[in-house]
Amino acid sequence: MSLRFALLALLTSRPMTGYDVSKQFSQSVAHVWHAPDSQIYPELNRMERDGLLESAVVPWGKKGTKKEYAVTEAGVKAFREWMDAPIEIRRQREPAYLKAAYLEWAEPGAARAELKQFRDHWTEHLAMLEATRATLVDRSHPTLARRLEHYDASEWDRIVRYKIFAYDGLIDQARAAITWAERGLLLVDELEGSAAD
Amino acid sequence: MSLRFALLALLTSRPMTGYDVSKQFSQSVAHVWHAPDSQIYPELNRMERDGLLESAVVPWGKKGTKKEYAVTEAGVKAFREWMDAPIEIRRQREPAYLKAAYLEWAEPGAARAELKQFRDHWTEHLAMLEATRATLVDRSHPTLARRLEHYDASEWDRIVRYKIFAYDGLIDQARAAITWAERGLLLVDELEGSAAD
DNA sequence: ACAAACTACCTATCTCTATAGTTAGTGGCA
DNA sequence: TGCCACTAACTATAGAGATAGGTAGTTTGT
């Protein structure tokens, strides 16, 4: 159900085609709620069917057309209602931590490789989050810039700071994951005897 | 797919009935991979069909019977293979952070309520994780105690420390979530004007 | 003139999850 | 003797999500 609201969140910045949505999505909302385009297109259709979006067919080149979606009043209302409703608490589902708890079953080499892979993934992810955070701070983030156009300048700080707050939380998570993986690598060295590799 | 391996992990400690599994599960592996019993029973059946488990029918009372599952050699092999394979990286799916990024749309009261709910959930979760961690440190955790029986005492430290390592990671996550929510509450006060409630 | 890369928009299928039930026997106690 | 909580083991169904495709037009570079 959150996909629907992630899409509404994005579309409140400006009307977009499905293709725009799927491109912009991966650079913003997906940091917090990932979805592939095979989920995005059908969901946009369903949202239109449910009256949350309306679409206009726009010509594209000589023969091509594209469909631009805009949030309706009902869509804004649904989004506000979701924002005011209690959040769903996600259940724990962490394959990395599951494996960590049973690391005595792994080959030491495989244990090290997994922890490194995990650390590297989060290191990369952290860099991306920090880069995105920087574009929020200086307001160069394209979706944010378009969003601020609808508001009075006196509101800008408030809007931007909530987005930075969300990214700060994600950055903390990423840092914690990296620290944890590094502690894990030291632990494997200690328990399995350190091996060069 | 991880559910299968979460179940194998649990069943390597000792053979269990489906009911035992679903009870023990919620006190151990579920901290890292949640699943309701409506997923556990069918998955146990499928694992038996696939040769990872074998079951014995055990009498229970006068007429009742129960089915006790034990991990087969193929099951142990599959578990080891999964342990040595690279981990799947989970995609971000965090409704709380999604909402946080768009908090300018929420009523200030609703924003506060959500952050409090989030903080309280994680505070409770943290207490449970710390309590479980303590039972690992003193080795009074029932599943751990049964597990250690299969190993030589010289191996105990290694096994226990990996489990503590996993819980340390979860505890860090919980603490980070609480700190983040508290920062969020201060931010709402600053941006929306503080309201007593 | 043509290829390659990009824009645009899906579809199909399978698995995984969530939610909400059902059926039946056991053990204790009032 | 009857009731209730617990043990035991599912089932049914809908929706979400992952993976892997497909088709058609456009733009850009050579």
- Distance (Å, rounded) from C-alpha A20 to C-alpha A15? 9
User: What are the residues facing B57 on neighbouring strands?
Assistant: B67
A180–B100 C-beta distance less than 8 A:
no
What's the predicted TM-score (pTM) here?
Answer: 0.92
A182 touches chain B (CB under 8 A): no
pLDDT at position A118 over 80? yes
Q: How far is B8 from chain A (nearest CA, A)?
A: 11
pLDDT band at A90 (very low <50, low <70, confident <90, very high): confident
Residue B192 CB lies within 7 Å of the nucleic strand D: no
pLDDT digits (tens, 9 = 90+) for B7-44: 999 999 999 998 899 988 888 888 888 888 889 999 99
In the sheet where A53-60 sits, what is the strand order?
A16-17, A64-71, A53-60
Question: What phi, psi does A68 have (nearest 5°)?
Answer: -105, 125
Over residues B46-64, mean pLDDT: 85
Beta-strand pair A53-60/B53-60: unpaired
- Distance (Å, rounded) from C-alpha A48 to C-alpha A37? 16
Q: Any residues with CB less than 8 A from the CB of A67 and at least 6 apart, and which?
A: A17, A18, A55, A56, A57, A58
Contact indicator for A189, A183 with CB cutoff of 8 Å: no
Q: What is the reported pLDDT for B62?
A: 74
Cα–Cα–Cα angle for A103, A105, A111, nearest 5°? 45
- Distance (Å, rounded) from C-alpha B122 to C-alpha B177? 7
Residue B36 CB lies within 7 Å of the nucleic strand C: yes
pLDDT at position B114 over 50? yes
What residue ranges in B5-115 does DSSP mark as E strands? 16-17, 53-60, 64-71
Q: What is the reported pLDDT for B91?
A: 82
Strand C-contacting residues in A 44-63, CB cut-off 7 angstroms:
45, 60
Q: pLDDT averaged over chain B?
A: 91
Residue B95 CB lies within 7 Å of the nucleic strand C: no
pLDDT at position A197 over 70? no
Burial B19-40 (b: 16+ CB within 10 A, else e): ebbbebbeebbbbbbbbeeeeb
pLDDT at position A176 over 60? yes
Residues 115-154 of A with CB under 8 A from B: 117-118, 121
Task: Specify the 3-state DSSP secondary structure of A82.
Answer: helix
pLDDT band at B117 (very low <50, low <70, confident <90, very high): very high
- Distance (Å, rounded) from C-alpha A136 to C-alpha A130? 10
Longest dimension (CA), chain A: 68
- Distance (Å, rounded) from C-alpha B50 to C-alpha B11? 16
Q: What is the reported pLDDT for A87?
A: 84
Mutation target among A29, A34, A39, A105 for the B interface, most CBs of B within 10 A: A105
Q: Any residues with CB less than 8 A from the CB of A62 and at least 6 apart, and which?
A: none
Q: What is the reported pLDDT for A161?
A: 97
Residue B54 CB lies within 7 Å of the nucleic strand D: no
Over residues A128-156, mean pLDDT: 94
pLDDT digits (tens, 9 = 90+) for A62-86: 777 888 999 999 999 999 999 999 8
pLDDT digits (tens, 9 = 90+) for A10-21: 999 999 998 899
Contact indicator for A22, A40 with CB cutoff of 8 Å: yes
Higher-confidence residue: B61 or A136?
A: A136
pLDDT at position B1 over 70? no
pLDDT band at B197 (very low <50, low <70, confident <90, very high): very low
Task: Specify the 3-state DSSP secondary structure of A154.
Answer: helix
DSSP state, residue B93: B
Residue with tokens 């609703």: B110
Q: pLDDT averaged over chain A?
A: 91
